[in-house]
Amino acid sequence: MKSDSVKTGVQQAPHRSLFNALGMTKEEMDRPLVGIVSSYNEIVPGHMNLDKIVEAVKLGVAMAGGTPIVFPAIAVCDGIAMGHIGMKYSLVTRDLIADSTEAMAQAHAFDALVMVPNCDKNVPGLLMAAARINVPTVFVSGGPMLAGHVGGKKRSLSSMFEAVGAYTAGTMSAEELEEMENKVCPTCGSCSGMYTANSMNCLTEVLGMGLQGNGTIPAVYSERIKLAKHAGMQVMELWRKNIRPRDIMTKEAFLNALTVDMALGCSTNSMLHLPAIAHEVGIDLNMDIANEISARTPNLCHLAPAGPTYIEELNEAGGVYAVMNELAKKDLLNLDLMTVTGKTVRENIAGCVNKNPEVIRPIENPYSQTGGIAVLRGNLAPDSAVVKRSAVVPEMMVHEGPARVFDCEEDAIEAIKGGKIVAGDVVVIRYEGPKGGPGMREMLNPTSAIAGMGLGSTVALITDGRFSGASRGASIGHVSPEAAVGGPIALVEEGDLISINIPECRLELKVSDEELSRRKAAWKPRQPKVTTGYLARYAAMVTSGNRGAVLEIPGARE
């Protein structure tokens, strides 16, 4: 056992004395030590129930012959952090979570791990850690929130952000706004649409790192507690068989994840997180692969914000495995890969039928023949940009309009809410990338303001920042290279025509090469927005969005 290094032999007598201080018995020390990484806190609604999940995991581990030991991981609520300096601290926690979990697991020589995340950066951060530590590991999340009910319709957090825009535009009363405020988030759990948290939790099933239902069983269902117990039991089975994350998270598993991502219509943030997780196992997940996969993968789900259905309905329809079964009908997945169940993908999804063709379209009748995400390129984004194609209205798939340029999110929101953005405009928000932000803020406030003010079918938004999974419309993010390093988005001027062609995966600035060269020669780097603390260190080490915004030592790679 790996833990023998801290509990076996004469040299480890001091270590055992400290275990004795914990009240640990000899019987417990003789068993494998299983770290339970608890992301529980009292500020994130998606994490307030994780104490119950952790207790269930501990029971499962103990029942199966292990000694469970809990230690914490941090998590930020992106909704609460949205629209102010707090959002600079969201993406950056992904690396803090990975680093601190690695430190705790290696320092204490755990034999196996159960990761208990739920919300946005927590899931990929712990997947990155699992890849680094590479001891038998199972993921079990806290589960999604149930949808709210307002005026006879299901609603979610994205509805709330858009309601603010509707109120500003005078189409919603203060009383209606307050009613929504009190009803859209009715339970604990990750917010109820196919936003980033639920996207990544669903993809843990596809990667093979979570048990069936991990991405879809609602947080308030007792079935979630049973799942946690099974996760605790299953990690001991993985330990006995020595099945580790790097045995499971292979290149083929990431290709499966990208394929199911396209079918589900996941958050664009998955295009940041999957390459970052792959990077930890030594795989370069080039985003060109995304368009290749999208071209052959039908989009089968329109979950909120792309459509009127929610994660609870995906769960009732058969969940992620049912979606995978539809894709398997056209041989779009590698079914022979190992998973944490100890079985192959093929064995896992056998018999998992689609129970509701309105929620999961049959593969013969998809929403579209191409996937939910598109990677765009052109002279405005030479290294790539990303859009959630499944959440774009048909009339905005091809669009050309004048640039309205803003150097930060706050200025853009002021202009949108001040009525200065009109139909046809292309809002450009720059200097919000991984380095320039720093931290690559989500732009849910401006996209929601645009939608709430009735401009969602006529106005596009382009940024070197990123979007919440709750954003919808022609919202193009991750523009790379970013403005802070002199990318072409830094050279856009007010009124320049910008051409968007999502079906052809093109993003073009209608300015001559000669003019762009002149502007580039005159461009000067800006002073960093933050010069102290973690954000300054992050900005110095972070790479471009097209590489997953992974951290590297400056100068280590061109």
Active site residues: 468
Q: Kindly tell me the burial class for residue 53, based on how many C-beta atoms sit within 10 Å of its own C-beta (0-12, 13-18, 19 or more).
A: buried
Q: Where are the extended beta strands (E) located within 132-188?
A: 137-139, 148-150, 153-155
d(CA 156, CA 469): 12
Structure tokens at 10: 């004469």
Residue in the block written with tokens 């960093």: 528
Residue in the block written with tokens 């593969």: 363
Contact 399, 374 (CB under 8 A): no
How many angstroms separate the Cα of 8 from the Cα of each of 12, 20, 69, 385, 551? 6, 14, 18, 53, 37
Structure tokens at 266: 């996941």
Please provide residue 459's backbone torsions phi and psi, each rounded to the nearest 5 degrees. Answer: -125, 135
Please provide residue 109's backbone torsions phi and psi, each rounded to the nearest 5 degrees. Answer: 55, 50
Classify 309 as helix, strand or coil: strand
Structure tokens at 452: 């709430």
β-bridge mates for residue 138, sequence order: 114
For 415, how many CA atoms within 13 A lie in the half-sphere containing its CB?
A: 19
d(CA 456, CA 450): 6
Classify 245 as helix, strand or coil: helix
Structure tokens at 28: 């417990």
Instruction: Tell me which residue of 434, 474, 430 sits closest to 450, measured CA to CA.
Output: 474
